[in-house]
Amino acid sequence: MEFDLIDAIKSKAQIDESVDLGIGDDAAVVNISKGSQLVVSTDTLVEGVHFDNSATPKQIGHKALAVNLSDLAAMGATPKWVTLNLTLPQIDTGWVEEFIAGFLSLAEKYQINLIGGDTTSGPLSITVTVFGEVKKGQALTRTGARRGDLIAVTGEIGSAAFSLKNKYSGLVDALHTPEPQLEISQQIKSFAHSCIDVSDGLLADLGHICKASALGAKISLEQIPVNSAVKDSTPQWSSHVLSGGDDYQLCFTFDAKDLDKLPANCSIIGQMGCGEGVKVFANNQEIKVASKGFIHFNQTDK
Ligand code: ADP
Ligand code: MG
């Protein structure tokens, strides 16, 4: 049974000339481009923790790969290979077929080769590992931010958290089928000083850049790009934006002299400076944001 399943996965996976050996042997063998470094990231999605039955198997397949690709986008890397570890309560061919369809359609969009994995029985969980390339020494990290750097984000922030809180009623694509920001990653990698993907919430993730770069950040709530559905929903919209997670947008810093290189669909939200941590301003007044992502609203919120 398990081998039928692996054969079915193999028959659908497209591989290119970078792969000498893909699914079917004891290990995969791939060719790394000359002058490049291997960039590796892995993430696990567990049923009941990272997804529930509001997501279709196809959406789960998409998201399992997307969250990993987002990490490589944050590194300025080009994803090339992926492995897929499936832990399944039972062999449900229909579920796996749908899951694989979602997974492989995203893989094909970015020409990523599924080269192996593992299939075991147990509570539903999915572990994906992506392997990508970056020119030697060119990886974008969290540590490179400089004092005075502008801070930018891609897309809109807070949509996924909003959708989750509102029982998937609006902006559900942002939650269930996030788009990894691989194109923008390639456009910014030549001039960005630091980068992270927003998976745990903007404050937490920008906070990682601050800590890693030994700097502070000041951001302005009004400048953060937020979908109007989120802003119109509740006076507490800023908690989705600042502390919600699952955005899979990029947050990066760069020198103001490179402003003309900023791609479309990016917004400047603040600036790096001395100090520690992230300070948030609304109407030019600092607003208090408790740790753990809880926000004490004040008069500056709608
Ligand atoms: P082994 O016992 O050597 O680990 P497996 O039976 O686990 O072999 O796997 C056989 C082949 O199928 C390997 O190439 C493995 O990478 C691949 N494979 C197993 N499960 C998956 C999966 N869920 N997705 C993709 N490839 C898989
Ligand atoms: Mg195995």
Question: Which tens digit of pLDDT belongs to each residue from 32-79?
Answer: 999 999 999 999 999 998 988 889 999 999 999 999 999 999 999 999
Nearest of 300, 296, 218 to residue 253 by alpha carbon: 218
Going by the DSSP 8-state scheme, the letter that residue 225 receives in this structure is -
* CB contact at 8 A, 202 and 224: yes
Q: What is the mean pLDDT of residues 215-230?
A: 96
Q: Closest residue (by CA) to atom 20 of ligand 1?
A: 118
Which ligand lies nearest to the CA atom of residue 10 in the structure?
1
Decide which of 41 and 233 is more confident: 41
Going from the Cα of 264 to the center of ligand 2, the distance in angstroms, rounded, reads 43
pLDDT (tens digit, 9 = 90+) per residue, 263-285? 999 999 999 999 999 999 999 99
In this predicted structure, the answer to whether residue 101 has a pLDDT above a threshold of 90 is: yes
Tokens of 165: 């809180």
Which ligand lies nearest to the CA atom of residue 82 in the structure?
1
* Identity of the amino acid at 55: A
- Rg from Cα positions in the chain: 20
In this predicted structure, the answer to whether residue 225 has a pLDDT above a threshold of 90 is: yes
Going from the Cα of 85 to the center of ligand 1, the distance in angstroms, rounded, reads 8
Give the list of residues 6+ apart from residue 299 with CB closer than 8 angstroms, or none.
Answer: none
Helix (H, G, I), strand (E, B) or coil at 10: helix
Which ligand lies nearest to the CA atom of residue 125 in the structure?
1
Give the list of residues 6+ apart from residue 27 with CB closer than 8 angstroms, or none.
Answer: 21, 116
Going from the Cα of 24 to the center of ligand 1, the distance in angstroms, rounded, reads 7
Q: Closest residue (by CA) to atom 5 of ligand 1?
A: 118
pTM value?
0.93
Ligand 1 closest atom vs CA 27: 14
Going from the Cα of 120 to the center of ligand 1, the distance in angstroms, rounded, reads 10
Confidence of residue 183 (pLDDT cuts 50, 70, 90): very high
Confidence of residue 288 (pLDDT cuts 50, 70, 90): confident
Going from the Cα of 81 to the center of ligand 1, the distance in angstroms, rounded, reads 15
What is residue 168's predicted lDDT score, i.e. its pLDDT? 67
Pocket of ligand 1 (CB under 6 A): 6, 9, 23-26, 84, 86, 114, 116-119
Ligand 1 closest atom vs CA 116: 16
CB under 5 Å of ion ligand 2: residues: 118
Going from the Cα of 118 to the center of ligand 2, the distance in angstroms, rounded, reads 5
How far is Cα 175 from Cα 134, in angstroms, rounded to an integer?
Answer: 28
Angle, CA of 184, 30 and 72, to the nearest 5°: 25
What is residue 285's predicted lDDT score, i.e. its pLDDT? 94
Q: Closest residue (by CA) to atom 8 of ligand 1?
A: 26
